[in-house]
């Protein structure tokens, strides 16, 4: 299962990401929450795989991301890391595991590297997280910032709302962006920000921005894999920025329904799905059963 792709790429490093940014080539990022979703993202050539805390909702069925624990994230990080041969893997720090003090965040980040086997971490927040980011990056752990809409703070933000729609709030996001850059982030996710604001922030920064709901002017893009592959039942709410590139749900439904039909009708398993036995051995077995 963990076989490397036939056309194996070189391992993506921070150097690779910096070089893509320098050349103006878009950075591709995608979430993966387990071994198979990481395997396909890596084989498909993603530069970065993010074990986002969105897994709380889309993979574990939790109400929101605040419920997930570090231990649960680490289990998923390890499975993603095992599957990923080339992409740069980042693990998301869950709510409550880093905001108390830089030391707490540093200890959690170390667990992600040692136990989660990821290459970097992501944490939400701007200016107020600068000293925390500084502490982690100074210890040699790459940090991806996350500003704009920060879902872990949805209660304070009044829900999943677009951020930076006024000059004042756009300025606040720019200040956050400059603060996380100054603190040492190698890149920053910009979530749910008007495209023109995100583009101007991207032009102002020297580190790459990774947009989600922030338009084409960012240095790269990230999407949640279950959303963009259409791996969910019809009728589920999808944010405006999500483009559904596939219909995994329909494909899986088709396959599982066909399997159900064939099991009921006894068309499955067919002869080609069974293991052969020498005729004389079977006859001997049949005789032995009769003589019981
Ligand atoms: O948790 C997540 O998947 C994320 C991305 C959407 C950026 O934070």
* 30 and 50 Cβ atoms separated by less than 8 Å: yes
Two structure tokens written together for 74: 């680490």
Two structure tokens written together for 241: 């920025």
Closest C-alpha to ligand 1, atom 5: 52
Distance 167 CA to ligand 1 centre (A): 26
Q: Residue range 151-172: average pLDDT?
A: 89
Q: Decide if pLDDT at 60 tops 70.
A: yes
Residues with CB under 6 A from ligand 1: 31, 50, 52-54, 92, 189, 212, 222, 224
276 falls in which pLDDT band (50, 70, 90)?
very high
**193-209 pLDDT, tens per residue?**
999 999 999 999 999 99
Measured over all CA atoms, what is the biggest interatomic distance in the chain, rounded to whole angstroms?
90
Res 52: pLDDT: 98
**Which residue out of 31, 66, 193, 220 has the highest number of ligand 1 atoms within 8 Å of its CB and is therefore the one to mutate?**
31
Res 6: pLDDT: 67
Q: Decide if pLDDT at 3 tops 70.
A: no
Q: Decide if pLDDT at 43 tops 70.
A: yes
| Rounded distance between C-alpha atoms, residue 110 and residue 177, angstroms | 24
Q: Distance between the two ends of the chain, CA-based, in angstroms?
A: 44
Q: Decide if pLDDT at 128 tops 90.
A: yes
The burial class, CB within 10 Å (0-12 / 13-18 / 19+), for 24 is exposed
Two structure tokens written together for 290: 């009769």
Q: Residue range 117-135: average pLDDT?
A: 98
Q: Decide if pLDDT at 4 tops 80.
A: no
Distance 8 CA to ligand 1 centre (A): 26
3-state SS assignment for residue 112:
helix
Stated length of the chain: 292
**236-248 pLDDT, tens per residue?**
999 999 999 999 9
Res 2: pLDDT: 58
Question: Strand ranges (DSSP E) for 38-171?
Answer: 48-51, 88-92, 120-124, 143-148
Strands 187-191 and 143-148 turn out to be parallel
Closest C-alpha to ligand 1, atom 1: 52
In the residue annotation, 191 being an active-site residue is answered as yes
- The one catalytic residue in 103, 175, 182, 191 is 191
pLDDT above 90: percentage of residues in the chain: 93
Spacing of C-alpha 192 from chain mean position: 17
C-alpha distances in Å from residue 277, one per residue of 107, 272, 280, 288: 58, 13, 9, 16
Is the pTM value of this prediction over 0.85? yes
3-state SS assignment for residue 289:
helix
**Which residue out of 145, 189, 221 has the highest number of ligand 1 atoms within 8 Å of its CB and is therefore the one to mutate?**
189
């Amino acid at each position: 299962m963990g076989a490397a792709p036939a056309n194996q790429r070189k391992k993506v490093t921070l150097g690779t990401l910096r070089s893509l940014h320098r050349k103006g080539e878009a950075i591709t990022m995608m979430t993966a929450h387990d071994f198979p979703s990481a395997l396909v993202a890596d084989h498909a050539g993603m530069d970065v795989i993010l074990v986002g805390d969105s897994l709380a909702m889309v993979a574990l069925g939790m109400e929101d991301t605040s419920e997930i624990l570090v231990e649960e994230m680490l289990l998923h990080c390890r499975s993603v890391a095992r599957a990923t041969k080339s992409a740069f893997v980042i693990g998301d720090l869950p709510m409550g595991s880093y905001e108390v003090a830089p030391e707490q965040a540093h200890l959690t980040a170390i667990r992600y590297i040692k136990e989660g086997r990821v290459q970097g971490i992501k944490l939400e927040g701007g200016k107020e997280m600068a000293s925390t980011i500084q502490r982690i990056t100074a210890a040699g752990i790459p940090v991806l910032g996350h500003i704009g809409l920060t879902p872990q703070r949805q209660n304070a933000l009044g829900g999943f709302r677009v951020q930076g729609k006024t000059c004042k709030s756009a300025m606040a996001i720019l200040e956050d962006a400059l603060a996380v850059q100054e603190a040492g982030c190698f890149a920053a996710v910009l979530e749910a920000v008007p495209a023109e604001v995100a583009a101007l922030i991207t032009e102002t920064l020297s580190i790459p921005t990774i947009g989600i709901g922030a338009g084409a002017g960012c240095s790269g893009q990230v999407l949640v894999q279950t959303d963009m592959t259409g791996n969910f039942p019809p009728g589920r709410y999808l944010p405006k920025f999500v483009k559904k590139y596939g219909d995994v749900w329909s494909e899986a439904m088709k396959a599982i329904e066909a399997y159900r039909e064939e099991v009921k009708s006894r068309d499955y398993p067919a002869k080609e799905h069974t293991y052969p036995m020498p005729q004389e051995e079977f006859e001997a077995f049949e005789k032995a059963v009769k003589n019981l």
